[in-house]
Amino acid sequence: MLSPPLPSDHSTDQVAVDLVARVSRAVGIQPNLSVGPSSPWRRPADRAPGAELLEGARTLLGLPEPAMLAQLRAWPRGLALRLFGAMARLRAFDERAVILQRQGRIGTYPTFYGEEAVQAASVLALRSQDWLFPTYRQTAAVTLRGCPPVVPLLMWRGHPGGWHDVMKYRVAPVCVPVATNLPHAVGAAWGAKLRGQELVALGYGGDGSTSAGDFHEACNLAAVMRAPVIFLITNNQWAISTPLSKQTRIPRLADKAAAYGMPGIRVDAFDVFACYQTVFEAAAKARQGEGPVLIEAIGYRLGPHGTADEPSLYRSPESDRLWESMEPLRRTRAALVAAGLASEQELDQVQADLAEELRDAGDALDGYAPVTIEEIAGTVHLDTPWSLMPDRLREPSWADRGGGE
């Protein structure tokens, strides 16, 4: 039995580390800095609320340790490290964004702490021509397609430079009203199929989104049209303060797929390898013309809904603590090291480099001059209407026009 490795500090900048720890505590996030529990890749504590949801979900890291290590050692090392790197990139973004929010350099920010595994896996399991349809919880996903991280940071600073190049990255604009992005994913996938293009679309949602009408319409339409679309529903058990039990009477969201005539697959959201395999397989099926797939990635929202949220008002810190053992970056690190796929030092270096890159991205924010409202007014329509012309944006002045005498 291998003894679990001890994750170490991932930043070379002790000031930043301390700041992350402090602000993370302030918003209820446990930063990835402390020593993990004894078996970080196993299961959440039985007492963790919702732990039973993981029963029967696909997992690699949750397997008994010898089986887990044997399976993981069969993975191509390059892929395993790329997955880790993508997760680390997302984590570095998230930590930096929280710091920037606390410094007042960006506005309210929806942290995705704990979703790094499912998000990184979903992007890497697809091809560059495939389309992604993110919500506000996946704002950094586009950075895994090559977009500089300053772009999504600008979004949270309220700067129009935060709108990334949709066609270049094949990532739709970040969608705020959850579930309304899902019909777009269906249309892209279905349209591509009609045009004979071999591509897959993936729409992100959460447990709350499955209660919205657009979820139903998207699933039904996709199934009827056999659109090559993946609905990736991350069940983190909380929609702001609304628990899963008040969202649905169905304990397993994946079961909803049956009502549409498509497969529903359950996977451990904290397991980057299982998520990768699941999305990869769903995409392969979709590409082969077998239609849509609903993936329920089961996890727990380890952080608050966002920087303005105070989870202690509606759930116990004890619950957060019990789930913290599943924190995916530490879990992945521990497994990679135990399987001999990477050393602590290598992984430290990856995280340190990314932390520095994100610190630079945060500093770059200040270099973006505000955009004038006149410039913005010219971006709404193909042909800018007269009322959006610079001299018409504000109230008319009779004096300027020679009238009113």
Is residue 394 flagged as an active site residue? Answer: no
**Catalytic residue status for 252:** no
Q: Which is nearer to other proteins, 53 or 221 (CB)?
A: 221
Interface with other proteins includes 160 (CB under 8 A)? Answer: yes
In the complex, what is the shortest distance from the CB of residue 255 to other proteins, in angstroms, rounded to a whole number? 21
Closer to other proteins by Cβ: residue 216 or 305:
216
Instruction: Compute CA distances 102 → 84, 152, 304, whole Å.
Output: 27, 17, 14
DSSP state of 59: -
CB 53 within 8 A of CB 296: no
Smallest gap from residue 228 Cβ to other proteins (A): 11
At 247 the three-state DSSP class reads coil
User: Two tokens at 282?
Assistant: 């769903």
Phi, psi values for residue 226, rounded to 5°: 50, 45
Least separation in angstroms between residue 279's CB and other proteins is: 19
Shortest distance in whole angstroms from residue 146 CB to other proteins: 17
Q: Using the 8-state DSSP alphabet, how is residue 5 labeled?
A: P
Could you give the string, one character per residue 200-229, with x where binding to other proteins holds by CB under 8 A and - elsewhere? -x-----------xx--xx-xx--x-----
Q: Which of 22, 25, 314, 392 is catalytic?
A: 314
Q: What minimum distance in Å lies between the beta carbon of 86 and other proteins?
A: 24
Nearest to 58 by CA among 277, 328, 372: 277
Nearer to other proteins, 171 or 295 (CB): 171
What distance in Å separates the CA atoms of residue 268 and residue 232, rounded to the nearest whole number? 12
47 binds other proteins per the rule CB under 8 A: no
Q: Which residue has the tokens 């050393």?
A: 343
Strand partners of residue 233: 205, 296
How many Å is the Cα radius of gyration of the chain? 22
The rounded distance, in Å, linking the Cα atoms of 212 and 360 is: 39
Which listed range, 109-117, 161-169, 249-257, 360-368, lies at the site for other proteins (CB under 8 A)? 161-169
Residues 365-384 that bind other proteins (CB under 8 A): 376, 378-383
The neighbour count for residue 44, using CB atoms within 10 Å, is 22
Q: Is 199 one of the binding residues for other proteins (CB under 8 A)? A: yes
Q: Which of residues 95-134 bind other proteins (CB under 8 A)?
A: 131, 133
Given the residues 301, 331, 333, 359, the one annotated as active site? 301
Rounded to whole angstroms, how far apart are CA atoms 342 and 84? 10
Active site positions, annotated:
301, 305, 314
Binding footprint of other proteins on the chain (CB under 8 A): 131, 133, 160, 163, 165-167, 172-173, 175-177, 180, 182-192, 194-195, 197, 199, 201, 213-214, 217-218, 220-221, 224, 376, 378-383, 385-387, 395-396, 401, 403-404
